[in-house]
Structure 1
Amino acid sequence: MCGRFTLTISWDDLCTWFNLEQSEIEYLPRFNIAPTQSVPVIIDHEGKRLVVAMRWGLIPFWAKDMSIGNKMINARAETLEDKPSFQKLIQQKRCLVPADGFYEWQRLSGRKRPYRIALHNGGLFSFAGLWDAWKSPEGKTIYSFTIITTPANSLVAPIHERMPAILTKAEEKIWLDHTVKEKGRIKELLKPYPSEEMTIYEVSPRVNAPGNDFPDCVIPVQKIFE
């Protein structure tokens, strides 16, 4: 699964990387993003890339209340077509979730040790996601998303059996293209990211608490104690 991630770059760098039109959303670098929090998500609107603030944890349009989103932070790539919640979204509401790292925990000797996984070059990338819009009983529209996961690659597997589906720059374009509807072409994008292009290191247990969203969350443990 993917239960925490980071997006530590500047707003200008984010817009440049994804070729975004400017937006009025509030933005700050994030070092420990957790479910139910609002983050920038990229969608295609009439051929243009837009960035929208969305709540992490998918709330389908038909939901009776928003609590269902707490259980829908991830969607398994292998079963997307089998779940009524995702069948239409995979065709019509695909999105990119910008990130530059994610956390996983390894259980050893009765305790969980947190690790951060990122690209070798420390660069930005995107998770494949799905989004929806839900209207509350009070009439407020809430935009929310889920992150698609795949089986873990050989780097992540010793820590967790799942990992988020990470897209290359070329795959991002295909993922956002509404004209791409062939199930086979869509599914072939949802695969484990190459291990040789990623790195992993242990971080401070401070990331265990969602309220801790500070730069030192991403510092390797060995550097903290140097």
Structure 2
Amino acid sequence: MCGRFAVTLPNDAMAQLFQAAPANNLPEVPNFNVCPTTGVHVVYSDTEMRRLGAMRWGFLPHWYKAPNDGPLLINARAETIADKPAFRAACRTRRCLIPTDGFYEWSKDVEGDRLPWWITRRDGAPLVMAGVWQDWQGPEDADPLRTCAIVTTAASADIAEVHHRMPVILGPDQWAKWLGEEGHGAATLMQAAPEETLQLHRVSRAVNSNRASGPELIEPFED
């Protein structure tokens, strides 16, 4: 799964990287502790071009009457995404990219305490996660709320000892297919990143708090 991540790439550089038109409401960067239900950077395609916009991290199915009307859907399992009522339409027609520097995952020590890890690409490139998105219309809201979830799959050998799930990570040569710009075949991308794509190190337990912030959250740490 993926429950926290970090983004430090400036918005204009992000727009250039994806050749996407940026919106005016992009989240502030850097953010070393991006949490569920907050706004995140998302790249998606419409009939005209790629766009870089802000979406609520926490997918809201159309039948929710309020954002807290059901489970918080921050992740969508690749193995079942095409069949789940919440995600199946989005999986076909509303796929997106969620750019990050890396993400956090937690293991447990012998006493059951949660130990945080910082996970990035070995090559230092942005870590781009596959996502799906949905516009949700609240009963009293004039404008729809655009929401998203991260697609996850079984973990690669690089990080399997820490956690058994991971985001689907896409390279630049896969972005267009996932966004639907190259026709069909996106389902073939929903698998773990090749071995030796990722690296990880322990970080401070400070990140266990969703109020923590600052670059020290991703620095190596030893108990």
TM-score interval w.r.t. the shorter chain?
Answer: over 0.9
Q: CA deviation at 1:166?
A: 0.4
Q: Which residue matches 1:40?
A: 41
Other structure's SS at 1:187 match: helix
Q: CA deviation at 1:221?
A: 1.0
1:191 and 2:194 matched: no
Once the two structures are superposed, residues 87-130 of structure 1 have per-residue CA deviations (whole angstroms, 9 ceiling, x without a partner) of 11111110111111011011012211100110113221311100
Distance 2:70 2:9 in 1: 27
Q: CA deviation at 1:60?
A: 1.4
Percent identical: 35
Q: Which residue matches 1:170?
A: 173
Answer whether contact 1:58 1:69 (CA < 8 A) is retained.
no
Other structure's SS at 2:82 match: helix
Answer whether contact 2:120 2:127 (CA < 8 A) is retained.
no
Q: Flag as ranges the 4+ runs of structure 1 deviating above 2 A.
A: 68-71, 178-181
Structure 2 residue runs of 5 or longer lacking an equivalent are none
Other structure's SS at 1:195 match: coil
For this pair of structures, how many residues does the alignment match? 220
Q: CA deviation at 1:81?
A: 1.7
Q: Which residue matches 1:6?
A: 6
Residue correspondence of structure 1 range 44-55 to structure 2 within 5 A: 44-55=45-56
The CA RMSD over aligned residues, in Å, is 1.7
Further displaced range: 153-162 or 38-47? 38-47
Structure 2 length-normalised TM: 0.93
Further displaced range: 44-53 or 157-166? 44-53
Letter in 1 for 2:39: S
Letter in 2 for 1:220: P
Q: Which residue matches 1:97?
A: 98
Further displaced range: 7-16 or 129-138? 7-16
Distance 1:176 1:16 in 2: 17
Q: Which residue matches 2:62?
A: 61
Residue correspondence of structure 1 range 23-38 to structure 2 within 5 A: 23-26=23-26, 27-38=28-39
Identify if the C-alpha distance between structure 1 residues 146 and 47 changes in structure 2 by more than 3 Å, giving closer, same or farther. Answer: same
Identify if the C-alpha distance between structure 1 residues 81 and 62 changes in structure 2 by more than 3 Å, giving closer, same or farther. Answer: same
Q: CA deviation at 1:68?
A: 4.6
Other structure's SS at 2:175 match: helix
Distance 2:52 2:70 in 1: 21
Answer whether contact 1:58 1:145 (CA < 8 A) is retained.
yes
Answer whether contact 1:35 1:70 (CA < 8 A) is retained.
no
1:146 and 2:149 matched: yes
Identify the structure with the greater helix proportion: 1
Further displaced range: 20-29 or 10-19? 20-29
1:15 and 2:18 matched: no
1:83 and 2:84 matched: yes
Other structure's SS at 2:149 match: strand
Other structure's SS at 2:62 match: coil
Q: Which residue matches 1:124?
A: 126
Q: Which residue matches 1:133?
A: 135
Distance 1:8 1:70 in 2: 29
Letter in 1 for 2:206: R
Q: CA deviation at 1:145?
A: 0.3
Structure 1 residue runs of 5 or longer lacking an equivalent are none
Q: Which residue matches 1:180?
A: 183
Q: CA deviation at 1:195?
A: 2.7
